[in-house]
Amino acid sequence: MKLIALFMSSITGIAVSSAHAADNNYPTKPIIVPYGNAQLYQKTGALTILGSFEDERMAAASDVIPLRELGYPGVVVPVWTGFFAPHGTPAPIIEKLNYEINAILKLPDVREKLANNGQTIVSGDPDVLAKVVKQDLDRYAPIVRAANITAE
One digit per residue, the tens of pLDDT, for the chain of length 152 reads 334 445 443 333 334 344 455 555 544 556 666 777 777 777 777 777 778 888 888 777 788 888 889 888 888 887 788 899 999 999 999 999 999 999 999 999 999 888 877 778 888 999 999 999 999 999 889 999 999 999 88
Q: What is the pLDDT of residue 29?
A: 55
Q: Which long-range contacts (CB under 8 A, 24 or more apart) does 26-31 make?
A: 26/1, 28/1, 28/2, 28/3, 28/4, 29/3, 29/4, 30/3, 30/4, 30/5, 30/6, 31/3, 31/4, 31/5, 31/6
Predicted confidence at residue 24, as pLDDT, reads: 53
Residues 125 and 95 in one domain: yes
Q: What residues pair up with 66 in beta bridges, in sequence order?
A: 52
Q: Angle, nearest 10°, between helix axes 108-116 and 91-105?
A: 70
Residues 6 or more apart in contact with residue 85 via CB below 8 angstroms: 93, 94, 97
Whether residue 61 sits in one domain with residue 32: yes
Question: Is residue 81 a part of any domain in this protein?
Answer: no
151 within a domain of the structure (yes/no): no
Query: Do 95 and 64 lie in a common domain?
Result: no
Tell me, yes or no, whether 18 lies in a domain.
yes
> Is residue 77 situated within a structural domain?
no
**Which residues are within 8 A (CB) of 132 and not within 5 positions of it... i.e. 6 or more apart?**
80, 82
pLDDT for the residue 35: 72
Considering the domain architecture, whether residues 62 and 98 belong to the same structural domain is answered as: no
Q: Count of domains in the chain?
A: 2
* Inside any domain, residue 15: yes
Q: What is the pTM of this model?
A: 0.66
Range of the domain at 142: 91-146
Shared-domain flag, residues 98 and 63: no
Name the 3-class secondary structure at 50.
Answer: strand
Q: Do 48 and 97 lie in a common domain? A: no
